[in-house]
Structure 1
Amino acid sequence: MEDKAALLQKLEHKNARLNALVQKYKQSHHLQNALIQLSEQASTVAELSLLYPAIHNILQDYVPSKSFYVVLLNQFTNTLELSYFADEKDGISVPLHQDHNFSYGVTGYVFKCGKTTYYQGDEMQAAADKGLFRVLGTPAEHWVGVPVYREQSIIGVLVAQSYDKQQSYSEQQIELLEVMSLYLSTAIERVKKRELLESEVKIRTRALTQSNEALNLEVEQHKKTLERQHILFKISELATQSKHIEEVYQQVHEIIKSITYADNLYIALHDRESGWLSFPYCIDEFNHNTQPRPFAKGYSELVISTEQTQLIDDKRANILIDSGIIERPTQVPESQTATSWLGAPLKTAQGVIGLIVCQAYSNKHNFSQDDFELITFVSHQIATVLQAHLANQALKESHQDLELRVAEKTKEISQTNMHLHMQIEERKKIEQQLYHDAHHDPLTGLPNRSLFLTQLEKTLQHYQRYPEQEFAVLFIDLDKFKDINDQLGHQAGDQFLIGVGESFSQCIREHDLLARLGGDEFVILLTHLTCRQQAEDIAKRLIKIMKKPFCMKGICVQSGASIGITYSKKNYKHTDEIIRDADAAMYYAKNAGRSRFEFYHPLLSVNAASSHHVFESSHHLDSLPMNFRSSEIVTLSEQYQSETLLEAFGEHPVLGSTSFDILKKFAADKAQQLEVELQLLRNACEQAKSAQLAMILFPCSGLLLEKTEFRALCQSLKNLNIKNHICLLFNEQEIRYASAVQVSNLKTLSEQGYSIGLNDFAKDRCELNLLTELQFDYLLLSSTFSKRVLQQESYDLQLQGVLAITKIKQIKVIAKGPSILNFRALLDTHGLSLFVGKQHAINIPLIKNAPLNNEQILN
């Protein structure tokens, strides 16, 4: 019996151990399963708001946790904040109440202690009575709080509670909660990193989307540009095709249809003499009345009178009618009245010849700003085409005595169309030419002034370090170039310049530099020279090759080259001195008979002794006969303005008749130049008074703005008492490099009420900052810039920038250039309306007054 009892006892002991092991393995399984699920959730959920409900669902399988919440520490405010809350009795508003602060409750107590805490029944209230914490919310029958750690720091508390006395928490369940809390911080970090990664992906996706939108916009803009070019091609083709005028109208209608809504379109022509409107072409779903009518108060008359495109809808139509500007015929039914009307003037160099109109009824189409811009864009080209065909038609119907005038008009239109073709070709190549154009002449492809001056500056600096490596500059001016332009045309002149550039390139060495300064002026930089004879040999080759006649269209014209040479000198400090001396030598060669070369010499003579008396006389400006050239400022229609340009010139014994700017180079000193300039100013004012000129524009030099000379200028202006009738023009290049004293004195002139202006603006580059920094009243564009505006789109963009600034600052812009009506008409389309008229020589000998001494100047 004893053996049997001992065996039973032993079996019971083993059974107890087996039950304990089963419970232990079951607990390990639960822990492992819970952690696996937690790891899966941390790897799959997209944001923290989804992680906490997932953890809650995992716990409910192993722990009584219908009431479960998570509180985490806010690192910025250092307070405990609720991250997740689920409760059987208390709603979410209870823990979020203003008085409900977790730091004061049992949750905050666990956070401070950093240990797992379990309360049953009244144990929580007993602890609260001891002052350990405050009871917040509905008391629970079983409450367990587990701290959440990240490394060694506590970051929050995980809480499970039960309101049922039968649902208590075992040691294994509490252990499960503790294990879950250990991995909770790691799961939170993984989800946060995933959230950050997704946020960055969204941001980058948004950026790529915006970039694609910008690219699409750029592509659309490029498509619009190509469409406009295609339209221009179509219009230009109309100008060259000999079609009947009715066919031209139909072709124009088809072109407008490709641009915008044009089911209803008509073209009207305006006869200025009779004041009537005729309708040679009309396609309209309601109005088929194309009979001429007198000028009235309709939409068409508004376009012609304002010379601007008009976009009229119902709202604007009512405003125009109420103001009395428009009078609508009463017999037209409301259903046949246009709900959207768009008309553009047909503007030519002679003015508005009519208009082209698109209209829509019953709100079938509403014309937009894009339609407005497009029809404005093509209307000028259409006007030129229509005028050409109308001129041809009139030529057939007119009398023989009008044939010559019509032929001249047709020639002008053909030149305009040819220029239009050139512009289109230039715009195609402009992207490829941007970099090249910045450093090369667009016509000949040779280096331009900017590149030449840069290379000359480097050569001068190199020569100053190594004087044995000498150099020379050849300034070349082509003879009789104007004859080629006049007899063969400007296109032949351009071809001549291109051929000259190619010929000159064959006469120099590979390391020498040939450049075109502008017009018919070329310049060559010869380096690595050992004697003057090398420069002379090259000059002889250039003159020899230029003796060949230039022939085109069966006409031959003899040209030549006048060359001025300056050789390297130790006293050269600036490139301006080198160009000045080479230029002076060139002028002497030209005045000495042309087709020759001359080296620069202070006496401008090969034999200094024999020409000493010439040198002496040429260096006394006050002994030279001085005269003026008068040029009125006119508009396109040759209407005279109130301004007159007076320019001084003199008869030099060596150079002959030349401008005062050239003669200033031979002044003995500043005092002599100042004396002559002030005397010229007095003579100009006397001329203005005698001729009763309202405003004279008088070119001056920057010398008058220097400290001492400026006092003399102010005293002279005060004595002349002609403040409101004279504008002092200063060369743009001199003002660009003016000293601070000169700029200050220029501002003083403007503040004292004297008119000032810039002369020869944008000759080599366009300095817009000069227009913004100083207050000028007049701006005279250089003839070189005016010509380039018609040849290259980049210069037109510069001109539009100039016009925008001058409009704001109320500066009058005057263009220089050939006094050709077609030339001015083309500039007028670019926004220029004032021009320098033909020159007239005025015999005004220089009045000899006593020279100003230093005391007079200082006073």
Structure 2
Amino acid sequence: MTKPQNLTQLVEQNKKVQQELDSLKKEYQYLADRHDALFKLNSLLSECKDIHDFYFQVHNVVASLMVAYNFYIVLYDQTFEELEFVYHVDEYDKTPIGKIPFENFNGSLTNYVIRSGKALLATPERLAELKQQDEISNVGSDSIDWLGVPLIDDGYIVGVIAVQSYTESTRYQQDDLDMLNFAAQHIVSALTYVQDTERLQKAVSARTTELMEQIREREKSELLQESLFRISELASESTVDLDHFYSQVHNIVGQLINASNFFVAKYQKESDTLSFLYFVDQLSENEVQDFKPRKMSNHYTELVIRSGKEVLLDRDKMYALYQQNVTSKPQGNSRSWLGVPLKIDDQIIGAMVIQSYQSDVLYTESDSELLNFVAQHVANAIKRRESIDYERRTHELLEEQVQIRTQALEEEIKQRKQAESLLKHSAAHDALTGLPNRTVFIDLVDHAIACQKRRNDMQFAVLFLDLDRFKVVNDSLGHHAGDLLLKIIAKELKYIIREKDTVARLGGDEFVILIEDLDDHDEAYEIAQRITEMLERPFDIEKQPVFIGASIGVLFSDDRYASADIMLRDADTAMYHAKDKGKGRFEVFDASMHQKVQNALTLETDMREAIDRSEFLPYFQPIVNLDNEAVVGFEALARWQSDKRGFVYPSEFISLAEETGLVMQIDLQILEKCCKQLQTWKSLGSASGLYVSCNLYCNHFFNPTLPDEILKITEAYGIEPTQIRLEITERALLENNHIVLANMNALQQLGFKILLDDFGTGYSSLSYLHRFPIDVLKIDRSFITNLQEHESNRAIIKTIIDLATNLQMATVGEGIEHEQEAKLLQRMDCNYGQGFYFAKPMSADDVIKTLELT
């Protein structure tokens, strides 16, 4: 019995040994798999060059270590507090797209790992514990186990790598967490390497491209020199046939630029037409039809001629001009368009144009410069040819002179009679519209007043009409379009009024209407309403819809009126009342309107007296350094301490001051008082090293003596130019800019700093920032208000600050009312701040108290 028992024990022992051996093999295989996975992870440093492929390979490596069906890598930008899911694979959740504010993931496990900086194995028990502690809330689909570790680079958390399980069959353990944590550090190293490699490759590629471009530019320069010499030779040959000249120019230009589609257009100013002297177009099926002479319209060639400048367009710019109603809809095949003006003695005589129908042929600024040069030679050739033609025509004209003079003598008597008739008509009528003029209308109204005094039942009304947007038409389309519009409106008004009524033009865009024999006021209201509705419709001016509108003042006859001039005055007042109420309407005159005009006149009189009595004084709002909130200076804001009206705020007088021009005297009075106050503070030992920033109305900068005037004021009080800063608005930079530029340069050379106020709210052209000597940009309060809620505002402000930094300008944020706005601006590298959060505008005495407290 003993032997079998020993045999049984031996079998059992062998089985046990075999089990242990199998277990050791599995453990060995497990360790070998992990070793292989980590080795592959390290090898990504040299094998994986594309960042997106790198993330995919990382997923494969992690999946070889553990179950990782649901896996993502999210990067964290600490500066802008944003998350970006650069890799995401999940059975239930969709991939978040783009950069997402970090705060959107408040309560998530990803947020918890980033905030804590520690790895997390979130089992159901651990999840319940974190929820009870309010550390997390439900974000995304519920999982069974969630495993996440931070990606740490040089002590900073740059992201999170995570896996998660939605089934009980897949559970994660502590060694999975340790493994993922260890792998994360290799991932950061590999990620840094891949990103550095990608940047290095881009730098090498950019330098290689630059060197190749230099070689091509040198070759192109040699070809350009030769080609321009050939063009000059052609232009110098007075006997050259003009058609042959254009063909040769086309051939030469084609060697430098892709000029498969090329034409030269001539502008006839007298007839306002375009004719095409030479044209070649690949896609034109009927060139004769496509390039026949035409009236000036809204094509790109007309844009070149009207602007007098080169026009370089790609497909997007073509559609942008079309959507702005500047040009017609672009051709379906046009991809790039370049046109330059032909000039003779600064007079535009035509345009030279090339265009491309191929997406891989797009013109550049260098092409524009080349074509501009060629255009000068073409213009000279046209001028010589026209001189020859002129001599020929002159000779022909001399032969016809006798015959013409004979006919002229026969016509002279007839024309003199017509002239006499025309002079009589012109004396009583407007030359442009043919309507009665002011003199005739005054006589008619005086006659109506006289009739009404004799017969009380002969009531009448006067309508005073002013076009609302006529200046816009003149400025955008030109005076020719404005004159055409006035003619059309005059014709329409004659259709609307009754046969016994009279419409006249006073001048400019002002019309008056006399409505006689009124039975009741409704008749006048009906005519005013019909005029309003007529002017609401668009007018077709030079193939472009124009919206105009009008404001109408209505005045009814009354026994108190003794003259037409007084009636026109009150009708004009009612018209301005209609314009103030929103335009495009009519208002009936009443006594309160006259009182409003009187109030404005009284306010103007009081302002003039206040200037003489030096009643305007500065209030000072501190400007602080956003890094430490130390006061560095003040903005001087005008206030009026009136003997008659008491304390008057700017909103009550500034607009009228600007309208009347009194604001310029107020500005200088404020500047002088600021200098005097600086002198006082200096004697008291206060405000040492601080400056005062004074606002100057734009018209100051149109005065060539401005620098001398300002220097004279500061020197009178012993104030250094560095203690005074001058604020200018964008409008000044867009008008009379040669005078403005000279003044700004002179002021800067004297030591005054120039601030551009309310930047971003006006035209905001980047060009003037390069051309004008500006030291500081003041970011308008409209961008800073609700800064936390508007991401677009943050982007705009960041762009302005970066632009200012690149141009070596400082920045001041205006209208800061909350701490969060100040902190965010400070993080964006804005230098200075100003607003109610720091201090409201204060008197000079309060400034001393504030400085003593600090």
TM-score (normalised: structure 2): 0.35
Larger Rg: 1 or 2? 1
TM-score (normalised: structure 1): 0.35
Larger RCO, structures 1/2 (Cα 8 Å, 6+ apart): 1
